Chain A
Amino acid sequence: MTISIPIQPGRQVIRRGSRRRVRTLPLVAPSVLVLLLWMIVPLAMTLWFSFQYYNLLNPMLSGFAGLENYRFLLTDPALWTAMANTLILVGSVLAITIVAGVLLAVLYDQPFAGRGIARLLVIAPFFVMPTVSALIWKNMLMHPVNGIFAWITRSLGLGVVDWFADVPLLSIILIVAWQWIPFALLILLTAMQSLDNEQKEAARIDGAGPVAMFFHIILPHLGRAIAVVAMIETIFLLSIFAEIFVTTSGGPGLATTNLAYLIYSRALLQFDVGGGSAGGVIAIVLANIVAIFLVRTIARSLDR
């Protein structure tokens, strides 16, 4: 399932600066071919399965299902909840990580005592496996009996927040944001460093205060980097799975079931490969809709 976006060819006409034309096809082709194989083969199989009755546990039940798997899924109220959860999850984490990432990039671009070490500490969460970080947060921080948070709030006389029962989606968002803020910071910090000191100096001489500097010089400069962060993160966040699997198993109820978890539950908890495949196809369609909007915006910013 490819996305085709109408892009005006006008802007990227080949610059004819070189005398010799370079044949680009042999250079691009290998990547395209392997990806095509990697995508088309499973995709074709997924499409095929999505029209079949195929339950791993019950091979007796087989044969052509027509649209039955889709009908079953689309009439399932869980699907819509899962879509909403997916969008909320992606949207909130994107917002949190980008805002925090920009602010932290500005902060860690300033010289201060021990900045190098502080920077190392901040980016550390990104290197931690999602399963491990979910386990730490669940068992050692957010645990309502033994966790640090519970101990802090109890010591302050505030009672205990039962994170995964009272605010399940928020808990997941917090964990995921904690993992991805360092990523945003890394990319944005890299971009900050390519900002010309002369440019900054010039603006400062013109009497620009720190706030004006931030909005007129820094933020525009970070535009492309922000676009890259948003794009890469979206791809990963759409299929967030390990954090949910480890902490809430999609619950309570459907409170933290996103599309990836719904498909997992169908394909690997219920072993309904047909239904899971239909869910996979729906997820791809949804992901591509998101991608079209996203990539359009980003493609524009990359062209600048």
Chain B
Amino acid sequence: MCRIVSLSVFAAALLGGTALAQAQTTVTIATVNNADMIIMQRLSDRFEEAHPDIDLEWVVLEENVLRQRITTDIATLGGQFDVMTIGTYEVPIWAAQGWLVPLEDLPSEYDVDDVLKPVRDGLSHDGTLYALPFYAESSMLYYRTDLFQEAGIDMPDQPTWDQVREWAAAIHDPDNGVYGICLRGKPGWGENMAFLSTLVNTFGGQWFDMEWRPRLDDQAWHDAVTFYVDLMRNYGPPGATTNGFNENLALFSTGRCGMWVDATVAAGMLYNPEQSTVADRLGFAQAPVASHPKGSNWLWSWALAVPTSSDAADAAKEFVTWATSKEYIELVAEEEGWVSVPPGTRRSTYDNPSYTEAAPFAEAVLRAIETADPIETTANPKPYSGVQYAGIPEFQAIGTQVGQMMAAALSGQMTVDQALQSAQTSTERTMQQAGYLK
């Protein structure tokens, strides 16, 4: 009896499956569940209205799950997605594999030259654009103007890390639930290692030297990580090892942090009084520096790309162009207000007085993005591109492992030296296995 039931269930399902095959082109979009993308999903019915022959399907996932999901799919040419949301790290690597459709001959009204150059370069491989930026970010320092006023501190435009430590000590008030500084501690190459790489850069260190030897045993790494661990243990919030961007955003916007160094994209959310209790007490400055003036602010862009395994590449391109266009930015401004438009991608956004008025941070963000240089970043020459990562396929593995070690150092399970030692060893092993080191 059971067998009959299950057979009929299957038959029904098969019928259901075939009924879906229609003349319409279905574009399946895989994206991250970040605030800007959720707005995109909500506004996408405008696109469908304008393109009645295209049907959009959304797969919205948390960043880690998404990355794993789409990498599996694209590397096995599974063809499940027609639009993928990926970053500046993936685009050149995937393009080199021939996995992405080149985005040439864009319509003239798209005005590709309007896209900021560092962002465009980050999404290109051999001079060809392979993904269009949805939003782009650098990193900067956020602080609470009320706390700083109370403590009588003036924030310069470009603070140093030593100053930051001093100020963190001055405003740290855990009894009232305010912690001096919040920084990323959650392990991951895109989480704590993004921040730590910029810290190491400005302390004069780097991931690899010109012979691809890992340099995590340099003094600069030791100094930077020791500084980070001391700072966080003394003036950071409890639970820092599980705090990534989102957790810190939640902490800062509920008034728990005095300072926070993180992605510029947070500015739009922190300034939005509906999402943040500190909207009227928010200050910002360029990311702090130490001995080396460059590499202290990263460069990242979430971009939309079309995989070659897609069976609806033309419709997908159509969507990608729409979602990264000037027209889309204006649509968001109309629906959500200028402060919520996807930042960091277009010169025209920053030339627009409505935006600069609504977003007082606009100029600082633009400067941070324009000064972030993925090539000339570190004190000594380096063979890889990328500020907060090394643009080689192996870096995900390395960043993941080193990230764990740094979290262990932060939680006190290892000393800084032990953590760096085992990070160095595991990086050497990975580089050896990948054939960089003989």
Contacts and interface: CB of A to CB of B under 8 A. Distances in A.
Do A and B touch directly, given a CB cutoff of 8 Å in the complex?
yes
A143 B396 contact: no
A252 B187 contact: yes
B393 A248 contact: no
Contacts of B433: 68, 72
A182 interface: no
Contacts of B204: none
Contact of B242 (A68, A164, A270): A164
B404 A253 contact: yes
Most buried by A among B237, B404, B408: B404
B241 A165 contact: yes
A75 to B, nearest CB: 8
B75 A76 contact: no
Nearest to B74: A56
Given A252-B407, A252-B408, A57 B240 contact: no
Nearest to B96: A60
| Secondary structure of the B contact surface, majority rule | helix
A58 B242 CA distance: 30
B71 A271 contact: yes
B72 interface: yes
Nearest to A269: B400
B397 A269 contact: yes
The CB with the most chain B CB atoms within 10 A, among A59, A166, A266, A271, is that of A271
Nearest to A250: B404
Contacts, number: 109
B405 to A, nearest CB: 6
* Chain A interface size range: 35 or more
B413 interface: yes
B72 A145 contact: no
Nearest to A71: B433
A233 interface: no
B396 A165 contact: no
B56 interface: no
B408 A271 contact: no
A162 B76 CA distance: 41
Interface string A271-300: 110000000000000000000000000000
A254 B408 contact: yes
A120 B76 CA distance: 45
Interface residues of B, number: 41
B239 interface: yes
Given A251-B404, A272-B397, A76 B429 contact: yes
A251 B187 CA distance: 7
Contact of B396 (A164, A257, A271): A271
B411 interface: yes
A61 B187 contact: no
A270 B400 contact: yes
Given A61-B434, A248-B242, A250-B404, A145 B237 contact: yes
A160 interface: yes
B414 interface: yes
Contact of A162 (B93, B97, B239, B429): B239
A270 B239 CA distance: 26
B396 A253 contact: no
A253 B408 contact: yes
A164 B239 contact: yes
Interface string A153-169: 00000001011111010
Interface of B: 64, 68, 71-72, 75-76, 93, 97, 177, 186-188, 237-242, 251, 256, 393-394, 396-397, 400, 404-405, 407-408, 410-414, 419, 422, 426, 429, 433-435
8 contacts: A56-B72, A57-B396, A58-B394, A145-B238, A165-B241, A252-B187, A252-B404, A252-B410
Given A150-B238, A165-B412, A253-B419, 10 more contacts: A56-B71, A58-B434, A78-B426, A143-B239, A144-B237, A164-B239, A165-B239, A248-B241, A253-B407, A265-B400
